[in-house]
A and B are shown apart, each in its own frame.
Chain A
Amino acid sequence: GQSLEQPSEVTAVEGAIVQINCTYQTSGFYGLSWYQQHDGGAPTFLSYNGLDGLEETGRFSSFLSRSDSYGYLLLQELQMKDSASYFCAAQDSNYQLIWGAGTKLIIKP
């Protein structure tokens, strides 16, 4: 079957760096994307990796290793507003997104 695994919850301190890992198993794979969702809100796009390596967008970076079926989202200089759930989503052979269950990021002052 198709699945993505990510930790259910991560806790970090304001100003710190946190990494959220994602491993995937899909029938075909075109890329890995990351979305942020605040409680009661809609998912919003953060980043996409179609090739191996690191993509950087401001305080957020995302990494992909196709050979390891693994990726991660790196959040730097954490702010309280970064408290949210973060989802990885893999694009499968039908170009559809298969979503992980999400990682709840808790930030402490």
Chain B
Amino acid sequence: NAGVTQTPKFQVLKTGQSMTLQCAQDMNHEYMSWYRQDPGMGLRLIHYSVGAGITDQGEVPNGYNVSRSTTEDFPLRLLSAAPSQTSVYFCASSRSDPGTVYNEQFFGPGTRLTVL
């Protein structure tokens, strides 16, 4: 199993550009989420999904869109990049909706994004 994979590993954008960060998992996990991590801070939830076709907003959703057409994939789209979106982005998955029983989250290796 590859676990959770993310592409690209590094990305530099100019202000106003759009792009999609890819995330895929091969563990048949129902729950997937996107976080951003800024220096000296913990992870902040951007968007999450409890299953294919279902997404919801987290703590910091503005400027980002997600979709979940399959169980495996959960892409994150930056609509119009801003310098404030410079961060490390982590995708995570867990076995089921954490509302049922707590399941450890498995994280991808991260995407380091710089917006100039």
Task: List residues of A whose CB falls within 8 A of some B CB.
Answer: 4, 8, 30-31, 33, 41-45, 48, 50, 87, 89, 91, 95-102
Contact = CB atoms under 8 A, between A and B. Distances in A.
A99 B109 CA distance: 18
Contact of B90 (A30, A42, A102): A42
A97 B45 contact: yes
A11 B97 CA distance: 36
A45 B105 contact: yes
A44 B98 contact: no
Interface in B74-108: 90, 97-99, 102, 104-108
Q: How large is the interface on B (under 10, 10 to 19, 20 to 34, 35 or more residues)?
A: 20 to 34
A48 B58 contact: no
A106 B70 CA distance: 42
B98 A43 contact: no
B42 A100 contact: yes
B43 to A, nearest CB: 5
B97 A101 contact: no
B98 A95 contact: yes
B108 A42 contact: yes
Contacts of A102: 40-42
Nearest to B90: A42
10 contacts: A30-B102, A42-B90, A42-B110, A43-B43, A45-B105, A50-B102, A91-B98, A95-B97, A96-B98, A97-B98
A8 B103 CA distance: 27
Nearest to B107: A42
B48 interface: yes
Contacts of B58: 96
